[in-house]
Structure 1
Amino acid sequence: MAPPGVGPGPDPTVPALARQWPVGTRPLVRRGYEPPAHAYGPGHRGVDLIAADGAPVRAVAAGRVSFAGRVAGRGVVSVELADTGDPPLRTTYEPVAASVSQGDEVAAGEVLGAVEPSGSHCAPCLHWGLLRGDVYLDPLSLLPPWLLDSGPSRLLPVLGVPLPEEHSGSRP
């Protein structure tokens, strides 16, 4: 399930094959995926993740770099994900100063580049997108539920087991 307020939730047609976020360990989602009503309609075709300038950007899954260059003055990296059907899934990352080149094979977690300073719509952030062919999908769908949990793990008390005694710092 997607974190509150960040889009419609996972797409059941997308395999949850990512094992990490593209930036950080659990970045804040500044703006979620908002699918357009039609191909050229308004919407938000990806998610904006809070990320500092210079932060490493990592491939969320194994694949081949299908593009690494500049589009409209911003650095963009796109990775075609391995074994994800026909047409394959493709992730996009921007603004990124790429450290990879078109055609490079990348492993999950491999650094693709660094978040570059820009006049982006969400600076400082990383815009992360997902497509199958020309159709945009929610990139959060690539993450398994355990990576989407918004809170820390919590241990619950075990019934019938006494709580440990509190110590004031002195020993009896």
Structure 2
Amino acid sequence: MRTKRWAFLPALTLAVLPPPARADAPPPPTDPVPAVAHAWPVGSPPMVLRGWEPPATVYGPGHRGVDLAAPAGTPVRAVAAGRVTFSGRVAGQGVVSVELAGTGDPPLRTTYEPVRPSVGKGDELEPGDVVGTVEATGGHCTATCLHWGLLRKETYLNPLSLLPPWLLHRGPSRLLPVLGVPLPR
């Protein structure tokens, strides 16, 4: 019988360290993202088709937002109070950008695309106000979706961080058995 050599090595503790900062990498955000959202932009809770994947460099590959499943014509709602800073078409797709009130200096901005805008630049919004409807055209999803983005100045952030934890929860709470603990008598 042959003994495995690695079985006799002492246990090692590994620490996962972040990669070293690169000169062309975007600076890390200095202000935390406040959980100011009151609801999801397209229903509660939608299926996240693709999550946020921050790029390693300013122009590197990544996914600068989240894709939420939503059929064409679905109303898109402002997740928090703010002011519309852009409403129009970019590269053939409808885009709405909203500067969120009370989120620091510079303030946070959410983006929604592809949408058929129903608001104009300068419009003041309350949480839940409709900014447009999901368009069937464009996008990079395999199914119709809403791309929801978040920026502070030029730095992309995870838009899901705007949601309070109770809005991120998917489904009812479940109690699971605790194995190996004796039952009370």
Q: What is the TM-score of this pair, normalised by structure 2? A: 0.76
Shift of 1:19: 1.1
Matched residue, 1:36: 55
2:151 is aligned with what amino acid?
A: L
What are the ranges of 5 or more consecutive residues in structure 2 without an aligned counterpart? 1-29, 177-185
Matched residue, 2:128: 109
Shift of 1:119: 2.9
- 1:77 pairs with 2:96: yes
Shift of 1:155: 8.1
Matched residue, 2:148: 128
Q: Between Structure 1 and Structure 2, how many residues are aligned?
A: 146
Query: Of 63, 67, 76, which aligns to 1:57?
Result: 76
Shift of 1:25: 1.1
- 1:26 pairs with 2:45: yes
Aligned-residue CA RMSD (Å): 1.6
Matched residue, 1:68: 87
1:64 is aligned with what amino acid?
A: R
Matched residue, 2:169: 149
What are the ranges of 5 or more consecutive residues in structure 1 without an aligned counterpart? 1-10, 157-172
- 1:15 pairs with 2:15: no
CA contact (8 A) 2:114 2:138 kept: no
Q: C-alpha offsets along residues 90-144 of structure 1, whole Å, 9 cap, x if unaligned? A: 0000000000000000000000010011131114000000000000000000000
CA distance in 1, matches of 2:59, 2:161: 22
Moved more, 144-153 or 49-58: 144-153
SS in 2 for 1:25: coil
Provide the identity percentage: 72
Query: More relative contact order in 1 or in 2 (CA 8 Å, sep 6+)?
Result: 1
